[in-house]
C-alpha cells in the first residue's frame, strides 16, 4: 500500500523567474543534498549553477530510502510532498525478532511528535532524486552532467573554480561561494583543505534491492539480530519489494564491491528468523541490484572554510542505523540555502553564514555518536555485542511500550527534536521567561499544531519568508495592538517577513487566523499572548511574551539590512 491519501499535502511550488538573481554560486553534486540546495536557493530568488561529475547516475544510487518526518515537512514546504507520498510507502510498524523466532511489533504513534507527518516513508533514492530534479528544472536550474570540479582557488574578492567537462575541455569560473554536496569522496572538501577524520568499522554492508518471497511482512520494518550481525528489511513501494541491509564482519577487501547473488542469498537465508508454520526458504523473485561496501564513521571539524561549504555525505558519513544519512544531508542544504540566498540578495549580513557551522556541526556530531551506539548495539563484535543481540530485542520491545521512551526515540529518529538554542539566530526576549516550560524556545523547531479543520500552523509557515506569529488570545486590546504591529512590519520588511495575528474563537475584533480549539495557543504557551518569529526553515528565531514588541523590533533591525522599506 503506497502513501497515497495517507497525509494531506501542499500545492506545488512555482518560482517567480522574473525576480531571480543570477549569483556566482556553484553547487557540486546533484544527489538529494545538492538538488535540495539548488531548489532552496532558487525559491529564494537566487539561481545557482549545479554540476554533477557522473554523466549517468550509477545503478546502485538508491541506497538511501527512508524519508523521516522532518524531511517530509521540508518537502511540504517545497511543494513536492504530494508527489513524494504518491510514490512512497508509509510505514506504521516495526518488528523486532529474537534469534529464536520471537517477535515484537512496535506501532509508530503519530501523536508522539507535533507534525502532520507522524510516520516515516520509504522511497528509493532515485525516485526522490527524480522528483527533486523536476522541481529544480521548474525553478529554471539545469543539472550539468559530466562536469567535474578539478581545481579551486580562494581569493579576497572572489574565488575561481576549475571545471573539467566530459570532452576534456577545462573552464575557469569566478565564484562567490562553492557548495560541496558531492558525497563521501568530495572534491570540494579535498580542494578546500577540510579534514575528514574518522575510522572504518571492521564490518561491511551487503545491500540488495530485491523482490522477495519469504515469511516477513510486506509493509513493516523488520529488525533481525543474529550472533554475528543484523539483518534489516525495509519495505518499499511495490509488491514484495524490500531494501535488504545485512551488517556482518568484513570478508572482502575495502575496494572489492562485487557481490554474487549466491553469497547474498546464502547470508539472507541464514539470518532470517524462523517463524512458526513457515517451511519455505526465502526466495529472491527479482534482484534489481546487489552491492557491498565498508562502513565508515567520519565527520569534518568545520562545515565552512572561506568560500567553501560542505553538506551531506561530504561532511559526515556513518552507518545506516536509524535511517538518518540522506535526511541529514537534505536538512544541511535547507539550513544553508536560505541563509546564503538572503546574503546573496544583500538583505541579511554575511555573518549569518557562520551559523551554518554552529548549528549543523553539532547535529553531525550527535548523529555520528548516536549511529555509532546504534551500530554497536545492532552489530558490535565480542561478548557484549552478542549479549545485546541475544537479550536486547525483548528489552527494547518492553521499553518502547512506555510513551516517554517511544516519544523520545520518535523525536530523535524523525529529526523533529533537532534544535539550535545556542545559535546567534536564536533570541530569547526578557519576557520569554514568563512563558510556560512546555512552550517551544528560540532555536526549537516550530511545532505544527491544528488551528481548525484541515488548517495548521505549517500552512502559515509555508514559503520562503520569515513568519511572525502574534498570539492575541481573547484580548481585544492585544489583538488590536498586534494588528497594528503586523501592518508596521509589512510596511518595513515586505515579503521578507509575513506577520500573522492568531486569535482564539469568538475573540474580537475578528481579524487574523482563528485558533478554533485553542490547541496552538496552548502548545505555544500563549496565555495571555506571545510572539514568535519563525525562520524560513521552520525554526524559531525569536521568542517573547506579548509585551516584548520593542525587543522584536530590535531583533528585526539587527537581522535585516534595509536601506529603505521593502516594496510589496
Q: What is the pLDDT of residue 293?
A: 85
pTM of the model: 0.91
Q: What is the pLDDT of residue 278?
A: 57
Question: Do 339 and 550 touch, CB atoms closer than 8 A?
Answer: no
**Cell 549553477 sits on residue:** 49
Q: What is the pLDDT of residue 1?
A: 37
Which domains, ranges and CATH numbers included, belong to the chain?
17-92+113-198+297-379 (3.50.50.60), 427-559 (3.40.30.120)
Q: What is the pLDDT of residue 281?
A: 85
Count Cβ atoms below 10 Å from residue 527 Cβ, excluding itself: 17
pLDDT by residue, tens only, the chain of 568 residues: 344 333 444 444 444 434 567 779 999 999 999 999 999 999 999 999 999 999 987 666 557 899 999 999 999 999 999 999 999 999 988 888 877 777 777 787 888 888 999 899 999 999 999 999 999 999 999 999 999 999 999 998 899 999 999 999 999 999 999 999 999 999 999 999 999 999 888 888 899 999 999 988 889 999 888 888 889 999 999 999 999 999 888 887 766 678 899 999 999 999 998 765 555 789 999 999 999 888 888 999 999 999 999 999 999 998 776 678 899 999 999 999 999 999 999 999 999 999 999 999 999 998 888 776 666 656 555 554 555 555 555 565 565 556 676 778 788 888 999 999 999 999 999 999 999 999 999 999 999 999 998 899 999 999 999 999 999 999 999 999 999 999 999 999 999 999 999 999 988 888 899 999 999 999 999 999 999 999 999 999 999 999 999 999 999 999 999 855 555 4
Question: Do 28 and 187 touch, CB atoms closer than 8 A?
Answer: yes
Q: Cα–Cα distance between 297 and 285 in angstroms, integer? A: 34
Q: Cα–Cα distance between 235 and 93 in angstroms, integer? A: 11
Question: Do 43 and 342 touch, CB atoms closer than 8 A?
Answer: no
Cell digits of residue 324: 538518518
Q: What is the pLDDT of residue 154?
A: 96
Question: Do 186 and 198 touch, CB atoms closer than 8 A?
Answer: no
The beta strands (E) that lie in 405-496 are given as 427-428, 450-452, 455-456, 466-473
Helix boundaries (H) for 118-206: 125-138, 187-192
Q: What is the pLDDT of residue 111?
A: 83
In order of 2, 151, 178, 346, 420, the CA distances from 32 in angstroms are 21, 24, 17, 27, 23
End-to-end CA distance of the chain: 45
Amino acid at each position: 500500500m503506497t502513501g497515497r491519501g495517507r497525509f494531506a499535502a501542499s500545492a506545488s511550488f512555482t518560482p517567480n523567474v522574473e525576480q531571480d538573481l543570477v549569483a556566482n554560486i556553484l553547487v557540486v553534486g546533484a544527489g538529494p543534498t545538492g538538488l535540495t540546495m539548488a531548489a532552496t536557493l532558487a525559491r529564494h530568488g537566487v539561481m545557482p549553477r549545479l554540476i554533477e561529475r557522473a554523466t549517468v547516475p550509477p545503478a546502485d544510487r538508491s541506497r538511501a530510502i527512508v524519508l523521516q518526518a522532518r524531511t517530509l515537512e521540508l518537502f511540504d514546504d517545497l511543494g513536492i510532498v504530494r508527489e513524494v507520498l504518491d510514490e512512497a510507502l508509509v510505514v506504521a510498524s516495526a518488528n523486532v525478532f529474537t534469534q529464536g523466532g520471537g517477535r515484537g511489533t512496535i506501532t509508530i504513534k503519530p501523536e508522539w511528535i507535533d507534525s502532520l507527518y507522524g510516520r516515516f516513508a520509504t522511497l528509493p533514492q532515485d525516485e526522490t532524486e527524480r522528483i527533486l530534479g523536476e522541481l529544480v528544472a521548474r525553478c529554471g536550474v539545469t543539472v550539468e552532467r559530466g562536469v567535474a570540479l578539478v581545481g579551486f582557488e580562494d581569493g579576497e574578492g572572489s574565488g575561481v573554480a576549475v571545471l573539467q567537462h566530459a570532452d576534456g575541455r577545462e573552464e575557469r569560473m569566478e565564484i562567490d561561494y562553492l557548495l560541496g554536496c558531492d558525497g563521501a569522496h568530495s572534491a570540494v572538501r579535498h580542494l578546500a583543505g577540510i579534514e575528514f577524520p574518522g575510522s572504518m568499522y571492521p564490518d561491511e554492508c551487503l545491500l540488495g534491492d530485491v523482490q522477495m518471497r519469504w515469511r516477513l511482512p510486506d509493509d513493516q520494518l523488520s529488525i533481525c539480530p543474529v550472533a554475528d550481525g543484523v539483518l534489516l528489511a525495509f519495505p518499499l513501494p511495490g509488491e514484495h519489494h524490500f531494501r535488504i541491509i545485512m551488517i556482518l564482519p568484513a570478508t572482502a577487501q575495502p575496494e572489492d564491491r562485487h557481490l554474487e547473488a549466491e553469497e547474498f542469498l546464502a547470508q539472507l537465508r541464514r539470518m532470517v528468523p524462523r517463524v512458526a508454520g513457515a517451511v519455505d526458504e526465502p526466495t529472491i523473485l527479482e534482484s534489481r541490484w546487489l552491492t557491498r561496501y565498508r562502513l565508515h564513521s567520519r565527520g569534518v571539524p568545520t562545515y565552512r572554510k572561506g568560500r567553501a561549504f560542505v553538506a551531506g555525505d561530504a561532511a559526515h558519513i556513518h552507518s545506516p542505523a536509524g535511517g538518518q544519512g540522506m535526511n541529514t544531508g537534505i536538512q544541511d542544504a535547507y539550513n544553508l540555502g536560505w541563509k546564503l540566498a538572503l546574503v546573496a540578495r544583500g538583505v541579511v549580513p554575511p555573518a549569518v553564514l557562520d551559523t551554518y557551522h554552529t548549528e549543523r556541526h553539532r547535529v553531525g556530531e550527535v548523529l555520528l555518536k548516536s549511529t555509532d551506539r546504534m551500530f554497536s548495539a545492532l552489530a558490535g563484535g565480542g561478548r557484549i555485542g552478542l549479549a545485546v543481540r541475544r537479550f536486547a530485542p525483548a528489552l527494547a520491545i518492553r521499553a518502547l511500550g512506555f510513551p516517554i521512551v517511544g516519544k523520545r526515540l520518535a523525536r530523535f529518529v524523525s529529526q523533529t527534536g533537532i534544535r539550535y538554542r545556542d545559535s546567534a539566530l536564536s533570541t530569547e526576549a526578557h519576557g520569554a521567561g514568563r512563558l510556560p516550560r512546555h512552550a517551544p524556545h528560540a532555536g526549537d523547531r516550530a511545532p505544527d499544531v491544528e488551528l481548525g479543520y484541515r488548517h495548521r500552523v505549517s500552512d502559515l509557515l509555508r514559503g520562503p519568508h520569515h513568519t511572525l506569529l502574534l498570539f492575541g488570545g481573547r484580548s481585544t486590546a492585544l489583538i488590536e495592538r498586534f494588528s497594528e504591529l503586523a501592518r508596521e512590519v509589512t510596511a518595513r520588511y515586505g515579503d521578507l517577513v509575513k506577520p500573522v495575528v492568531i486569535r482564539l474563537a469568538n475573540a474580537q475584533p475578528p481579524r487574523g487566523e482563528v485558533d478554533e480549539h485553542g490547541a496552538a495557543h496552548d502548545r505555544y504557551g500563549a496565555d495571555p499572548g506571545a510572539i514568535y518569529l519563525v525562520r524560513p526553515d521552520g525554526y524559531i528565531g525569536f521568542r517573547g511574551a506579548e509585551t516584548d514588541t520593542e525587543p522584536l523590533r530590535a531583533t528585526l533591525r539587527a537581522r535585516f539590512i534595509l536601506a529603505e522599506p521593502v516594496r510589496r
